[in-house]
Structure 1
Amino acid sequence: MLAYERFGSGEPLVLVHGISHRRQAWYPVTEQLAEHREVILFDLPGHGESPDLVADDRSVKDVLQEELVALFAELDLDRPHIAGNSLGGRIALEAAADGLVSSATGLSPAGFWKGDLDFLYIRAHFAALQASARVVKPAAPTLARSAFARKVLLASLMTHGDRVDAENFLGDLSCMVAARPALKRIFKEGVPFDADIAADIPVTIAWGTKDRVLLPYQGERARNQLPGAEHIWLEGSGHVPMADDVQGVVDALLLGSSHGLRSTVADVA
């Protein structure tokens, strides 16, 4: 069973973290979200406190979808709203394409790169992050006490890494190192997103203007590929925007998970 947390009240909203991260990535926005939604956070297979990613003869996509469906069943969730960051955003879009959810929101969702060269850049970026994490891990308890050090070490993922407290910084660092096998397996099967999403499932895409992992041009590609979606720019935010722009992310998630005319939703305010 995947490790998860569940709190708040209202329409259920499942939040999916990115590759080599963990459910705590959402902590900066969960307090505000829980005032309007029942929030479900979980660790993907091979990440955080969840069991290893075991694919056997299945594709990674099938494994992740089967785990998601099993989580929905375990928590008695019938087509909940879903949102995700990076890989989590891709999972959210895939869930929408498969009709498993009522709405999907992606924060810099994976899958909109141009071709092999761009995908190689993304893989190299995470390889560098993995190597850096392993190098600094012995000194991490000391470095974590410095807001400046946290900002520098997290600079490729967010513009305000100093806002991640020392405890969560250390947990994220350990998770990144431990998630290496899952990361390698997921990247091995990386392909662009090309699924069709039914028009009656609302989709929202938000992209940080300072994303250094999935560069902002990919947000434009997502706009062209999903013209029926709501598209939002998160000004000044990096690839993991939850700490960079708490209110902007909360607004995007509430907007994306609202029924009816999303532009008139009262509970975003």
Structure 2
Amino acid sequence: MKSTIAHTHLPGDGEPVVLIHGIGHRRQAWGEVPQLLNDRGYDVYVVDLPGHGASPTPTRPDGYSMRSTAEQFERFFVSHGIDTPHVVGNSLGGSVSLELAHNGAVGTATVLSPGGFFPVHHLPNIAANLLFMKVGSHLPEAVHRTLAGHTWFRKFAFRSLYTHPETVTVETAVGDTLNLRRSKGFWPHFFRATVMRFTKDVQVPTTVAWGDTDRLLLPSEAHTARTRLPEATHVTLPDCGHCPQHDHPDLVVDVVVATINRADRGAGPTEHEGVATQRPGA
């Protein structure tokens, strides 16, 4: 079966890297990260999850389960001649990346605030934030454009995703909101999330990175991830929210490159939880 996953390709001479966004988002959610990775020589693919962005909804026998989504990405790799890519996933995309890492279908996995590690009592916070954004997305586009032009509104509307939502541009804010409105994959993943738990191991070098100000999947969930994935490297991303690729793209790229380099050296996970640091001037 041919892959129908929509994507953007930034050709490079280095190893392939595939970027997978979160629930209700789109490939543009990665901001500067794809170009920064490409500038370092990597062959970069930025994808839309099935039922998100420009990717169509999956048709039978495909579906929205983590297993099926991972299988769809494995077919995407084959159909585009991508040999053992490094995957980077945020939120839902992080869960998909962990599934791929469990299958041994990728070279490394770098996951940013992945789903599947929250306790039951965190569900009201997750549901309230996601539903607030989803319901709000159905306001008329003209209203969105007017409101998004105000810094106070961007701070309010996107506080669950970013530490610095005021830096989101008006066009990005409106584009993300309209995309969320259209994302047919939102509801299937939203309802599956209530029972989603990642309890498997990973077969490839993996880094779990968590923003220290994440308001959607709370930083305390990083401790659960560390307990369930002792074979992974665990780092904290300072001054970063749920989507650190927006707050500090250089920092995210540094973590991705460190993961790839660790695999190239054949090194194991770090012994203790670390704090990722920004490069001078970042």
TM-score using structure 2 length: 0.86
CA distance in 2, matches of 1:145, 1:57: 40
Query: What's the offset of the Cα at 1:132?
Result: 2.1
Q: Secondary structure of the residue that 2:236 maps to in structure 1?
A: strand
Instruction: Pick closer, same or farther for the CA change 1:29–1:148 going to 2, 3 Å.
Output: farther
Aligned to 1:15: 19
Match of 1:152 among 142, 150, 156: 156
Instruction: Pick closer, same or farther for the CA change 1:197–1:131 going to 2, 3 Å.
Output: same
Is the Cα contact below 8 Å between 1:158 and 1:240 reproduced in 2? yes
CA distance in 2, matches of 1:225, 1:60: 20
1:61-99 CA distance string (max 9 Å, x none): 233123201210121012111010000001001000011
1:127 correspondence with 2:131: yes
CA distance in 1, matches of 2:220, 2:15: 33
Aligned to 1:188: 191
- Percent identity of the aligned residues? 35
Query: What's the offset of the Cα at 1:128?
Result: 1.7
Instruction: Pick closer, same or farther for the CA change 1:63–1:138 going to 2, 3 Å.
Output: farther
Is the Cα contact below 8 Å between 1:13 and 1:257 reproduced in 2? no
Q: Secondary structure of the residue that 1:243 maps to in structure 2?
A: helix
1:103-123 CA distance string (max 9 Å, x none): 0110001100123x3234322
Match of 1:32 among 33, 36, 39: 36
Is the Cα contact below 8 Å between 2:16 and 2:83 reproduced in 1? no
CA distance in 1, matches of 2:19, 2:253: 12
Instruction: Pick closer, same or farther for the CA change 1:120–1:147 going to 2, 3 Å.
Output: closer
Aligned to 2:255: 252
Q: Report 1:1-269 matches (<5 A).
A: 1-9=4-12, 10-36=14-40, 37-54=42-59, 58=63, 60-115=65-120, 117-135=121-139, 137-179=141-183, 181-190=184-193, 191-198=196-203, 201-258=204-261, 259-260=264-265, 261=267
Is the Cα contact below 8 Å between 1:203 and 1:229 reproduced in 2? yes
Q: Secondary structure of the residue that 1:257 maps to in structure 2?
A: helix
CA RMSD after TM alignment: 2.1
TM-score using structure 1 length: 0.89
Q: Secondary structure of the residue that 1:47 maps to in structure 2?
A: coil
CA distance in 2, matches of 1:137, 1:121: 27
Instruction: Pick closer, same or farther for the CA change 1:137–1:56 going to 2, 3 Å.
Output: farther
Is the Cα contact below 8 Å between 1:82 and 1:257 reproduced in 2? no
Structure 1 residue runs of 5 or longer lacking an equivalent are none
CA distance in 2, matches of 1:214, 1:232: 15
Instruction: Pick closer, same or farther for the CA change 1:205–1:165 going to 2, 3 Å.
Output: same
Q: Count the aligned residue pairs.
A: 261
CA distance in 2, matches of 1:49, 1:66: 19
Is the Cα contact below 8 Å between 1:55 and 1:63 reproduced in 2? no
1:201-254 CA distance string (max 9 Å, x none): 100011001101100010111111112211111112110111111221111111
Query: What's the offset of the Cα at 1:143?
Result: 2.5
